[in-house]
Amino acid sequence: MSPTNQYSCKVFLKNLRIQQEIVIDNETQIMPSDIGYTCYDPASYMVNYLETVTGENVNIDIENLVKRYSKDVPVSVIKLWNIRAPTLHSAGEITTEKSQPIIKFLAYNQGQSPEAFGVTTSRKDEGQYISVYPPNVFHWKIHLMDDINAMARNMTTRLEKDEKLELFLSLFADAVEEQKLDFKIVNFGQFLRLWQFLTINITSKMLESC
């Protein structure tokens, strides 16, 4: 199949509310959506867990829960026309890559945290391809230690009162979740600078007490 096939593609973003369409060029447009992102799968999982694992009798209207949740999680859509690719599937991959700079711009310009959750590609004579992105979940390491319960209690209690520690852990989480290597390096750099600040601050207090 020729690599010059043209596809119409869409990338769906949650956590982004825009008031009007944004036109980048005549082949790229960002549109607001009246339909919010739903939490049907996670809600269904929680209900299923309670019923099958813990044996609890759950009386929850999932449809109503999903409807209420969707109002608080806005969705916008990046539309890209004339994506050139050999297949529907590869057009989706190309679209995903092309959308990354747009998402970064939207995060900066709108002061929000848009997250892509799926892509569709279509061509009249081939049909349509849909892909749902997996969540940004990584398992870098598993802690197995005797005092992990005490550590969890201490850390979560401190986080409620210590803004610097909260910022410190937020920067670390951002660095871990970041997909792009260059942005990951920047995030870890911010994390390390704050770590140095905290270390110097603690050392100064220790010297003052001597």
Q: Which residues of the chain have pLDDT under 50?
A: 1, 137-142, 200, 202-207, 209-210
Question: Are 138 and 45 in contact, with CB atoms under 8 Å apart?
Answer: no
Phi-psi region of 169 (alpha: psi -120 to 50; beta: other; left: phi over 0): alpha
DSSP assignment, residue 66?
Answer: H
pLDDT on residue 203:
44
With H, G, I as helix, E, B as strand and everything else as coil, classify residue 79. Answer: strand
Interior CA angle at 178 toward 116 and 139, to 5°? 100
Question: Are 92 and 129 in contact, with CB atoms under 8 Å apart?
Answer: yes
pLDDT on residue 28:
93
pLDDT on residue 52:
92
Q: What is the pLDDT of residues 27-59, one digit of tens each?
A: 999 999 998 998 888 888 888 888 999 898 888
- Rounded CA separation 12/32 (Å): 10
pLDDT on residue 13:
94
Question: Are 184 and 175 in contact, with CB atoms under 8 Å apart?
Answer: yes
pLDDT on residue 166:
73
Q: How far is CA 56 from CA 23, 50, 52, 66, 200, in A?
A: 50, 5, 8, 21, 50
- The strand pairing partners of 129, in sequence order, are 121
pLDDT on residue 75:
94
